[in-house]
Amino acid sequence: EARAIYRSPEGHSPVRRAWAVWTLSHQSFYAILDNTWKCGMTHNVAGQIQGRKASFTADYTRRLEHTSIFSRDALTVIRRADRPETFFYVDPPYFNSDMRNYGGYTEEDFGRLLEVLSEVKGRFMLSSYPSELLTERTATHGWYT
């Protein structure tokens, strides 16, 4: 059921879609959402999942209380949500990687993202592979690595 919801999310509530992603990320091999189901030769996968399910309670609710998660154009979100007290965790596609699902994201796109990040009033943490462009912008803006 989780895989069916993930593959065809239309008509499902945001809660059901979130459940499907959580389930697939915890039950799929290597946490790749559309991968095969994981299995264990040396440990009890079902017990492990039960433990994770039990922890998905008030701890997550409290932790995410003031968190917003967006799946939209990052540059627009950053510009609209930027405040001095805002923290952005930015994990764009890695333009310099051959990982699947990264097609179409270019070094120019990454440069535009870095330019927007250089103007934020808040703080950010960026996940990225090393690149000359990132090294250059890090030095220019005095960012920490």
Q: Which residues pair with 88 in a beta bridge?
A: 124
Q: Please compute, for residue 41, the number of CA atoms within 13 A of its CA located in the half-sphere on the CB side.
A: 0
Higher local confidence (pLDDT), 59 or 115? 115
For residue 93, give the amino acid letter: P
- The string of DSSP codes covering 59-101 is HHHHHTTT-----S-HHHHHHHH--TT-EEEE----TT---TT
| Structure token pair of residue 10 | 């239309």
Average of per-residue pLDDT across 19-37:
67
Higher local confidence (pLDDT), 144 or 26? 144
| Structure token pair of residue 108 | 């120019």
pLDDT at res. 52? 65
Summarised one tens digit per residue, pLDDT across range 38-49 is 455 555 656 666
30 Ramachandran zone, left/alpha/beta (phi>0; psi -120 to 50): left
Is the pTM higher than 0.75? The answer reads no
Summarised one tens digit per residue, pLDDT across range 75-112 is 999 999 999 999 999 999 888 887 665 668 899 999 99
Task: Grade residue 53 by pLDDT with cuts at 50, 70 and 90.
Answer: low
37 pLDDT higher than 90:
no
29 pLDDT higher than 60:
no
pLDDT at res. 103? 66
Break the chain into its structural domains and give their ranges: 2-63, 74-141
